[in-house]
């Protein structure tokens, strides 16, 4: 029954394909991404992988029992403003909710900036006469004439999608459902989506924005996924692909198309899934995934081996309040520009040189110093990048010399300063992200991936007081590899009435109903399933809830309510330094995740060392020049121990061991670094 | 480019940048804690609070961008505490709100905690300021338009030490809470404030331990000097000269009409002097400003005209000199009522200063942002049997246009500029006996111009409480709309009416206590638009 498993990650430049054979061996292929129709790049990557395996593509696909795909179709549509033309049906008297932005404007001290364009222009936000009350009772029945009039206007405006957004629909969806039926009848070709389907939770701004986002990306995602499934099926794939979602679980093509906005944040989800998989393989349970790219560094926390979810983020200025992996993006990466700001202080980022012109050392016309240039000048980066691309050290040096002259320091001091400042900024980012989530980062290990991470992660760890760093061997295709290590997951939520108090019996009923719905959504899945319960709780008049896991708590117990409250008080105290045990605890949402567990992939033993076991040598700057050994990652023997200072290189990544660091090449094929001499001062 | 002038060996440009990032991250984290733990809707939904880190010399070092009108006032609060308590100890929490002792107005309660170097001297104050939903006085909700002295406005808290040996004194908290109408909210909010301040002290102590007090102090000096250089470089591009700007309040609610704030602003090189001495004398009603609030309003206007990436610390405000006369509406003598001042006359001070400087830097000056017209409603909720107090934050007025484009619709007033969030309609209806029948933009309310001011909003609010509710208004801007700049037109002023079943609609005044609101009444609220920019 076990066949091949294939993970496919479509990135901005490359489409990565990772094939796991029945014996656990891994084959990797990279094809150019084809933005116009991503399925072409996917097919090309599959062909290359099949060729490496010595198989014809139809043979490989016929023997494939699981294919997981991450797509950026929705993300790109939002970022490039190329979503479908959406018409909105909304409660009469409330057509401006999405454009009012809850009264907020970003950047308090930037008053010379024009207002954002709304996702749907006012002329296409059409009022329908209807009204629910807060308790779900009907204040004004759905008026068929006004619905008809609005639909005629949308038909005349030739919209491709219809978003139905009525007040209090999370509490009583009857009007939205009738309107959706009418819209499907009148506009049979349109993508019709209702807020009570997309996000059945209180707070209309989040719900409406998410529904509109779903309407914007729905048609393009549905079209793409249908086409992909068809192309793959024609090429011989027996079982349709699964799609990875923003929350890190996977869904069928149909489900991903219904909740298309749920794929908008799936880009980094593969990497976080990989971190969770590495955790299961023994990397530890408390991890900070640290993915340093060209323009930004993405951070995610894993606690108890599981990644935390957030209640959504923005993509291209569009708020999507669906459960998403809690990933924090910091505006600092390898391409971040170092310069002197108007105040005369050194800054690194958020401006980035991007891919074009890129860092000065790329020789593509960039002349500003970047983090990558500093790494090159300091000797940390191999100028040949393992032979893939020749870098221009002279250009990097010239850029850093100019910066140093402005700072009144030499080129090496300037390069070391840029390296130190970007590390400090990333450490601050990790600190705010972790402490904000009630976590002390010192108990965590940093898991480094992304091309630039290995040269910075040691110093970031030291700054944070983190003693353990892991660099997995899969670093370069981690996202696609991670997709092979996911499960089918459905996230469900039920909001509770404000005045309802905390009633364990009602909670138990909600979980039972959600469990039934979740299992229905996984219909056809025959493997083992598990559920995870949590509740969003708060004190009386607070607005923000704290998510409290309720697994293992017997809701039928006589003291169930006291047990729930005790868990909440403890969590509140851990997060915010205090608890208020004499105050009311209010239940806002009950949440349930239903997971259908896919069988774990076999894990192959690492291959025999392939390169030279003797190190080369390079001069690097570590508070002064010194010659350090340069090891080939692929050539290290299992269990081999290394002592800093040293560099470890592969074709796709470089790792810097600082003076006090020690590393071991783990038998599982990853580098485990012990950070020595946790620095007391940033000097 | 000149470089920070610091003692050799003490610090360096890299360390300064590293520590600046760290201090900003601490302020940001304190703000996040406050947002997520505070109790009353005015804080957790509408975000009417601010965070600052000031040093032992009471200089503003770092802040999180929350409510601009709070920030320039925080150092004055720290000064008042430092003066009253020359002997702060680790773990102390100080509290104040008194506008005549470092505060701005009574609803803004400020908690301050000192931060010490290990076994050593005072280094910083961790400061949290938050607007309380009630602070006693003769009307609910903190704003008393009838007040003619400060004792009618609420509980005055001059600087007090809330703790004994680092433990919060329950008796003092009980005394304060007993003087507010919603003790439960008050206690929850105070716990959140102290929690956020404590978080700040903890992180600052860690930084002090890591780098040492000397390096941190020297780095802070360099950060402030850097911000000063940035601000001076901008001001140096403005045309030298003396410029006049006037803005007018509608009234004080006690007979004074069209009260003028007059700013004569002199630009000379990289220095700016704002002279408010020509403003009208103080008035009977609560539109007078306290001293700290006046200073903060001028600083706010100045910050708006700088660049958004300019650090907002003590250094950035060094080019600015403020002249004012006690006994005028911008700086009232002790005892006068001042509660409205964080809105009015703050907004008029900002507008007068920006109108004046539109002559010196026309492309930086922006059209007027809206004026505030508050409404606080109290009554009994039949569903819970509890008394409720609801503050109007919906129907935000429009933002001012600028050289870059149109004003933001429904984005608020000068004192908050898009920083105050209104609560979800669904949550409001679920928690209060209210129905928001209509809440949309008010078309055509923004002032015309080459770039139009942002539109205000319209709200129809039905009251479904058990029995009669009582409303108070507090605000301004039904006579004067937000000002147009450079030939742009003013925005439309506000217009609020109340429809009581069976009675003729009544137009609400901006300073009207004790409005009787029977069940089934509807407020019809139309907020003003922003000012236009440039000739249409």
- Tokens of residue B243, six digits: 């410029």
Which residues of A are less than 8 Å from B210 in CB distance?
A: 680-682
How many C-beta atoms surround the C-beta of residue A269 within 10 A? 28
Same domain, A384 and A395: yes
Q: Is the Cβ–Cβ distance between A159 and A87 less than 8 Å?
A: yes
Question: Who among B311, B400, B426 is closest to A202 (CB)?
Answer: B426
State how far the alpha carbon of B410 is from the alpha carbons of A53, A104, A590, B89, B437, in Å.
61, 9, 34, 45, 18
Q: Is the Cβ–Cβ distance between A199 and A169 less than 8 Å?
A: no
- Domain of residue A233, CATH code: 3.30.420.40
Kindly state whether residue A610 falls inside one of the protein's structural domains. Answer: no
- Tokens of residue B85, six digits: 């308590």
State how far the alpha carbon of A283 is from the alpha carbons of A289, A449, A653, A663, B502, in Å.
11, 14, 19, 14, 73
Cα-to-chain-centroid distance, residue A474: 18
Same domain, A100 and A232: no
pLDDT tens-place string over residues A478-489: 778 888 888 878
Same domain, A320 and A436: yes
Return the sign of the alpha-carbon dihedral for residues B443, B446, B448, B452: negative
Single residue among A419, A435, A452 that ends a domain in this structure: A419
Cβ separation A96–B17 shorter than 8 A: no
How many C-beta atoms surround the C-beta of residue A3 within 10 A? 17
CA-nearest of A268, A400, A295 to A356 is A295
Residue B3 has a pLDDT of 41
Question: Who among A108, A139, A572 is closest to B68 (CB)?
Answer: A108
Tell me which residues of chain A, numbers 558 to 617, contact chain B at a CB-CB cutoff of 8 Å.
Answer: 572, 575-578, 580, 583
Q: In whole angstroms, what is the distance from residue B93 CA to residue B128 CA? A: 11
Per-residue pLDDT tens listing for chain B (536 residues): 334 444 444 678 888 988 998 999 899 889 888 887 777 766 766 678 899 999 999 999 999 877 888 878 999 999 999 999 999 999 999 999 999 999 999 999 999 999 999 878 999 999 999 999 889 998 877 788 999 999 999 999 999 999 999 999 999 999 999 999 888 889 989 999 999 999 999 989 989 998 899 999 999 999 999 999 999 999 999 999 999 999 999 999 999 999 999 999 999 999 999 999 999 999 999 999 999 999 999 999 999 999 998 999 999 999 999 999 999 999 999 999 999 999 999 999 999 999 999 999 999 999 999 999 999 899 998 888 888 888 899 999 999 999 999 999 999 999 989 988 898 999 899 889 999 999 999 999 999 999 999 999 999 999 999 899 999 999 999 999 999 999 999 999 999 999 999 999 999 999 998 999 999 999 999 999 999 999 99
Same domain, A438 and A310: yes
Same domain, A506 and A591: yes
- Domain range for A320: 269-333+423-475
Would you say how long chain A is, in residues? 683
pLDDT tens-place string over residues A305-359: 888 777 777 777 788 888 888 888 888 888 899 999 888 889 998 888 876 788 9
Cβ separation B429–A204 shorter than 8 A: no
Which has more confidence, B124 or A72? B124
Cβ separation B68–A497 shorter than 8 A: no
Same domain, A567 and A631: no
pLDDT tens-place string over residues B60-112: 999 987 788 887 899 999 999 999 999 999 999 999 999 999 999 999 999 99
Residue A633 has a pLDDT of 82
- Tokens of residue A330, six digits: 């910091």
- Tokens of residue B49, six digits: 């609070």
Question: Who among B22, B409, B440 is closest to A115 (CB)?
Answer: B409
Cβ separation B14–A420 shorter than 8 A: yes
B214 at interface of A, judged by CB pairs closer than 8 A: no
Same domain, A293 and A435: yes
Same domain, A587 and A633: no
A96 at interface of B, judged by CB pairs closer than 8 A: yes
Number of H helices, E strands in chain A: 17, 35
Which residues of B are less than 8 Å from A580 in CB distance?
A: 187-188, 191
Same domain, A31 and A147: no
How many C-beta atoms surround the C-beta of residue A522 within 10 A? 19
Burial class (CB in 10 A: 0-12, 13-18, 19+), A143: middle
Could you tell me which residues are beta bridge partners of residue B126?
Answer: B53, B113
CA-nearest of A558, A131, A162 to B426 is A131
pLDDT tens-place string over residues A121-154: 999 999 999 999 998 999 999 999 999 999 999 9
Sheet bearing B515-517, strands edge to edge: B387-391, B373-380, B466-475, B515-517
Residue B267 has a pLDDT of 98
pLDDT tens-place string over residues A179-216: 999 999 999 999 999 999 999 888 999 999 999 999 99
Cβ separation B408–A343 shorter than 8 A: no
Residue A128 has a pLDDT of 98
Cβ separation A111–B227 shorter than 8 A: no
Is the pLDDT at A678 greater than 60, yes or no?
no
Is the pLDDT at A275 greater than 60, yes or no?
yes
Kindly state whether residue A675 falls inside one of the protein's structural domains. Answer: no
Burial class (CB in 10 A: 0-12, 13-18, 19+), A614: exposed
Q: In whole angstroms, what is the distance from residue B171 CA to residue A39 CA? A: 70
Which residues of A are less than 8 Å from B364 in CB distance?
A: 112
String of DSSP letters for B279-324? SPBP-SSTT---HHHHHHHHHHHHHHHS-TTS--SGGGGTTEEEE-
Return the sign of the alpha-carbon dihedral for residues B99, B102, B106, B107: positive
CA-nearest of B126, B82, B134, B88 to B108 is B134
How many C-beta atoms surround the C-beta of residue A625 within 10 A? 12
Q: Quote the pTM value.
A: 0.87
ipTM of the complex: 0.90
The residue written with tokens 């010379």 in the block is A112
Residues 6 or more apart in contact with residue A226 via CB below 8 angstroms: A253, A257
- Please tell me the total count of domains within chain A: 6
State how far the alpha carbon of A228 is from the alpha carbons of A34, A225, A629, in Å.
13, 5, 48
Q: In whole angstroms, what is the distance from residue A481 CA to residue A484 CA? A: 6
CA-nearest of B428, B397, B443 to A204 is B428
Question: Who among B19, B65, B383 is closest to A109 (CB)?
Answer: B65
Burial class (CB in 10 A: 0-12, 13-18, 19+), A35: middle
Same domain, A360 and A211: no
Q: In whole angstroms, what is the distance from residue A195 CA to residue A214 CA? A: 9
Which of A72-76, A355-359, A454-458, A666-670 has the highest mean predicted lDDT (pLDDT)?
A: A454-458
- The SS3 call for residue A677 is coil
Which residues of A are less than 8 Å from B9 in CB distance?
A: none
Same domain, A87 and A174: yes
Residue A681 has a pLDDT of 36
Same domain, A127 and A150: yes
Residue A500 has a pLDDT of 57
Strand-pair category, A670-674 with B108-116: unpaired
Q: Per the omega criterion (within 30 degrees of 0), is the bond before A357 cis?
A: yes
Mutate which of B3, B4, B10, B17 to test chain A, going by most A C-beta atoms within 10 A? B17
CA-nearest of B172, B194, B188 to B42 is B188
Residue A26 has a pLDDT of 81
How many C-beta atoms surround the C-beta of residue B27 within 10 A? 23
- Domain of residue A566, CATH code: 3.30.1490
């Amino acid at each position: 029954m076990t066949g091949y498993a294939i993970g496919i990650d479509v990135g901005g430049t490359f489409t990565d394909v990772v094939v796991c054979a029945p014996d656990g061996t891994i084959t990797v292929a990279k094809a150019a991404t084809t933005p116009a129709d991503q399925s072409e790049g996917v097919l090309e990557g599959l062909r290359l992988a099949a060729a490496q395996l010595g198989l014809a593509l139809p043979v490989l696909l016929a023997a494939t029992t699981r294919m997981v795909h991450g797509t950026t179709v929705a993300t790109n549509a939002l970022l490039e403003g190329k979503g479908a033309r959406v018409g909105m049906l909304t409660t009469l008297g409330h057509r401006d909710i999405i454009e009012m932005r809850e009264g907020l404007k970003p950047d308090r001290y930037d008053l010379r900036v024009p207002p954002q364009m709304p996702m749907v222009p006012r002329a296409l936000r059409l009022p329908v006469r209807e009204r629910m009350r807060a308790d779900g009772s009907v204040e004004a029945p759905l008026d068929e004439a006004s619905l008809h009039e609005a639909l005629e206007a949308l038909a005349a405006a030739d919209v491709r999608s219809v978003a139905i957004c009525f007040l209090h629909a999370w509490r009583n969806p009857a009007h939205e459902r009738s309107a959706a039926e009418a819209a499907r009848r009148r506009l049979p070709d349109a993508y019709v989506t209702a807020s009570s389907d997309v996000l059945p939770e209180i707070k209309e701004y989040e719900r409406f924005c998410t529904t509109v986002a779903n309407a914007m990306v729905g048609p393009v995602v549905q079209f793409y996924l249908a086409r992909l499934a068809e192309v793959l099926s024609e090429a011989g794939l027996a079982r349709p692909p699964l799609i990875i979602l923003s929350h890190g679980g996977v869904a069928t093509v149909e489900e991903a198309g219904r909740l298309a906005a749920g794929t908008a944040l799936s880009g980094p989800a593969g990497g976080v899934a990989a971190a969770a998989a590495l955790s299961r393989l023994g990397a530890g349970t408390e991890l900070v995934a640290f993915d340093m790219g060209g323009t930004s560094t993405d951070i995610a926390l894993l606690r108890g081996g599981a990644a935390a979810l957030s209640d959504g983020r923005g993509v291209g200025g569009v708020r999507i309040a669906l459960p998403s992996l809690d990933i924090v993006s910091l505006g600092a990466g390898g391409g971040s520009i170092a310069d002197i700001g108007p105040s005369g202080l050194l800054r690194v980022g958020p401006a980035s040189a991007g891919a074009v012109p890129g860092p000065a050392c790329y020789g593509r016309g960039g002349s500003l110093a970047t983090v990558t240039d500093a790494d090159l000048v300091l000797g940390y980066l191999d100028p040949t990048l393992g032979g893939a691309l020749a870098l221009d050290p002279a250009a990097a040096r010239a850029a850093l010399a100019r910066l140093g002259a402005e700072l009144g320091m030499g080129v090496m001091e300037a390069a070391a300063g840029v390296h130190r400042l970007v590390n400090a900024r990333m450490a601050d980012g990790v600190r705010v992200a972790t402490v904000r989530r009630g976590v002390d980062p010192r108990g965590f290990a940093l898991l480094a991936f992304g091309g630039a991470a290995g040269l910075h992660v040691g110093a970031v760890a030291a700054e944070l007081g983190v003693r353990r760093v892991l660099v997995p061997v899969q670093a370069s295709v981690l996202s696609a590899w991670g997709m092979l290590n996911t499960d089918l997951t459905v996230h469900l939520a039920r909001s509770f009435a404000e005045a309802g108090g905390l009633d364990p019996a009602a909670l138990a009923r909600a979980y039972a109903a959600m469990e039934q719905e979740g299992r229905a959504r996984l219909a056809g899945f025959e493997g083992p399933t598990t559920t995870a319960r949590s509740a969003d709780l708060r004190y009386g008049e607070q607005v923000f809830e704290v998510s409290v896991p309720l697994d293992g708590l017997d809701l039928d117990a006589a003291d169930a309510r006291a047990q729930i409250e005790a868990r909440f008080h403890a969590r509140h105290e851990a997060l915010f330094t205090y608890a208020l045990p004499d105050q009311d605890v209010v239940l806002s949402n009950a949440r349930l995740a239903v997971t259908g567990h896919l069988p774990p992939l076999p894990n192959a033993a690492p291959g025999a060392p392939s390169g030279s076991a003797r190190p080369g040598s390079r001069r690097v700057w570590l508070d002064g020049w010194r010659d350090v050994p340069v090891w080939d990652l692929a050539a290290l023997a299992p269990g081999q121990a290394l002592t800093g200072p040293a560099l470890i290189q592969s074709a796709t990544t470089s790792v810097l061991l600082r003076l006090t660091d020690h590393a071991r090449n783990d038998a599982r094929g990853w580098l485990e670094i012990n950070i020595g001499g946790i620095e007391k001062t940033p000097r | 480019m000149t470089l920070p002038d610091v003692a050799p060996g003490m610090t360096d440009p890299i360390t300064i940048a590293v520590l600046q990032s760290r201090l900003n991250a601490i302020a940001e984290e304190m703000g996040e804690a406050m947002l997520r733990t505070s109790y009353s809707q005015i804080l957790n939904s509408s975000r009417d609070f601010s965070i600052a880190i000031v040093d032992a010399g009471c200089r503003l070092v770092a802040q999180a961008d929350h409510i601009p009108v709070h920030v320039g006032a925080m150092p004055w609060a720290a000064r008042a505490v430092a003066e009253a308590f020359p002997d702060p100890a680790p773990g102390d929490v100080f509290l104040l709100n008194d506008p005549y002792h470092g505060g701005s107005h009574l609803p803004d309660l400020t908690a301050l905690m000192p931060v010490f170097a290990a076994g050593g001297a005072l280094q910083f104050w961790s400061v949290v300021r938050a607007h309380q939903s009630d602070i006693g006085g003769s009307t609910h909700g903190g704003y008393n338009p009838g007040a003619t002295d400060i004792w009618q406005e609420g509980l005055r808290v001059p600087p007090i030490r809330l703790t004994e040996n680092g433990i919060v004194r329950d008796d003092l908290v009980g005394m304060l809470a007993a003087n507010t109408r919603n003790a439960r909210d008050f206690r929850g909010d105070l716990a959140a404030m102290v929690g956020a301040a404590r978080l700040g002290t903890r992180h600052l102590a860690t930084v002090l331990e890591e780098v040492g007090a000397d390096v941190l102090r020297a780095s802070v000096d360099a950060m402030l000097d850097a911000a000063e250089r940035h601000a001076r470089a901008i001001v140096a591009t403005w045309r030298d000269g003396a410029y006049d700007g006037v803005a007018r309040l509608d009234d004080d609610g006690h007979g004074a009409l069209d009260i003028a704030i007059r700013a004569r602003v002199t630009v000379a090189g990289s220095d700016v002097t704002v002279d408010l001495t020509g403003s009208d004398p103080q008035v009977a009603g609560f539109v007078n400003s306290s001293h700290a609030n006046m200073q903060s309003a001028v600083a706010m206007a100045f910050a708006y005209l700088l660049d958004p990436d300019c650090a907002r610390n003590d250094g950035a405000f060094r080019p600015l000199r403020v002249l004012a006369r006690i006994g005028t509406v911008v700086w009232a003598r002790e005892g006068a009522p001042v509660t409205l001042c964080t809105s009015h006359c703050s907004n008029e001070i900002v507008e007068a200063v920006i109108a004046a400087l539109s002559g010196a830097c026309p492309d930086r000056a922006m059209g007027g942002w809206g004026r505030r017209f508050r409404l606080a409603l109290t009554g009994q909720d039949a569903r819970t049997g509890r008394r409720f107090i609801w503050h109007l934050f919906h129907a935000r007025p429009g933002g001012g246009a600028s050289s870059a484009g149109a004003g933001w619709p429904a984005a608020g007033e000068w004192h908050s500029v898009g920083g105050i969030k209104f609560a979800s309609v669904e949550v409001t209806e679920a928690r209060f006996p209210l129905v928001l029948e209509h809440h949309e933009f008010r078309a055509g309310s923004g002032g015309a111009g080459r770039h139009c001011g942002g539109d205000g909003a319209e709200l129809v609010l039905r009251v479904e409480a058990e029995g009669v509710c009582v409303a108070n208004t507090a605000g301004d801007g039904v006579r004067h709309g937000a000002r147009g700049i450079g030939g742009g037109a003013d925005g439309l002023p506000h217009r609020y009416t109340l429809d009581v079943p069976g009675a003729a609609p009544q137009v609400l005044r901006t300073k009207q206590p004790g409005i009787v609101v029977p069940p089934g009444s509807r407020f019809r609220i139309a907020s003003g638009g922003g000012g236009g920019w440039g000739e249409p």
